[in-house]
């Protein structure tokens, strides 16, 4: 059975791949990290769309049967264009599954979303949540420094908790605060413990990685048996991809297993 393709601007999408492999242990995957051009979160929508189409084209040529856009910024900027460009390949993003889970989890329908600057400015989560519930209130905040902390492996302790407190205190204050928080960047799940430590009691955290895996299960049949394999692709620096990616994936990556590809020349 052909593999499932997954791409992200770098290693953040490995949190999505980790959830996908847990849900689809018998499937083969191809993961592409566009590490030469990360982060996507600070790029213009037109640039993100161009990069995303290049990533998708390479994976489609590798024979994938489904494409998972494991990047919130790319999902916000390029999902429809990717579907138009590859009509025979199911394309799943991370935003709609996260929005669905948030609406289902929230009792008050006051939902907070934290993500990169590009995702928040584009308003994709806000729009997705309101499509599902027009009465929902969405408080959104850009937390771009979380990406750097996650990439450096600073996910626990005083520093990430202090940063989380600085970002989240204005959102979770007063009597009319959200009761649900969407982690709208694939880097953020590795910081979940530090984020949870500074949230008020009872706030639910929605991880778009886990919800995307559930969405894929609804659309694509799993392979029948066996343990699937992953083929690793990156656009730059296999050693850093392996080192940083290990903490996101939860298992050891090796630079020798990572193929460096040129998306522009491909």
Q: Which residues are catalytic?
A: 71, 185
The rounded radius of gyration (Å) of the Cα atoms in the chain is 18
CB neighbour class for 259 (10 Å; exposed up to 12, middle 13-18, buried from 19) = exposed
Give the C-alpha separation, 94 to 112, whole Å: 16
Q: Considering Cα of 244, then 249, then 252, then 254, what sign does the dihedral take?
A: negative
How far, CA to CA in Å, does 112 sit from each of 125, 135, 168, 178? Answer: 10, 14, 10, 6
First to last CA, the chain: 24
Cα–Cα distance list, 114 to 61, 121, 188, 225 (Å)? 34, 11, 9, 38
Compute how many other C-beta atoms are within 10 angstroms of the C-beta atom of residue 129.
27
3-state secondary structure of 205: strand
Count Cβ atoms below 10 Å from residue 227 Cβ, excluding itself: 10
Distance CA 233, CA 220 (A): 23
Residue 7 sits at φ, ψ, to 5 deg, of -135, 155
* Bridge-based pairing state of the strands 110-115 and 137-142: parallel
């Amino acid at each position: 059975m052909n593999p499932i393709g997954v791409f992200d601007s770098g290693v953040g999408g490995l949190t999505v791949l980790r959830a996908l492999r847990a849900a689809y242990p018998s499937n083969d995957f191809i993961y592409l990290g566009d590490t030469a051009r990360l982060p996507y979160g600070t790029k213009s929508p037109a640039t993100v769309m161009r990069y995303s189409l290049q990533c998708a084209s390479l994976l489609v040529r590798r024979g994938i049967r489904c494409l998972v856009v494991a990047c919130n910024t790319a999902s916000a900027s390029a999902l429809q264009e990717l579907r138009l460009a590859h009509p025979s390949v199911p394309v799943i993003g991370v935003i709609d599954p996260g929005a669905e889970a948030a609406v289902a989890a929230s009792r008050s329908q006051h939902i907070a979303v934290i993500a990169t600057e590009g995702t928040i400015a584009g308003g994709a989560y806000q729009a997705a949540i309101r499509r599902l519930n027009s009465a929902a209130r969405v408080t959104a905040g850009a937390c771009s420094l979380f990406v750097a902390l996650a990439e450096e492996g600073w996910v626990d302790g005083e520093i990430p908790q202090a940063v989380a407190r600085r970002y989240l205190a204005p959102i979770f204050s007063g009597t009319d605060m959200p009761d649900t928080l969407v982690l709208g960047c694939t880097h953020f799940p590795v910081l979940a413990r530090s984020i949870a430590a500074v949230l008020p009691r009872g706030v639910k955290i929605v991880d778009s990685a886990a919800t995307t895996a559930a969405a894929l299960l609804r659309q694509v049949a799993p392979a029948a048996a066996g343990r699937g394999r992953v083929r690793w692709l990156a656009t730059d620096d296999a050693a850093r991809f392996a080192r940083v990616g290990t903490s996101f994936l939860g298992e050891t990556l090796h630079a020798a297993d990572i193929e460096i590809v040129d998306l522009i020349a491909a």
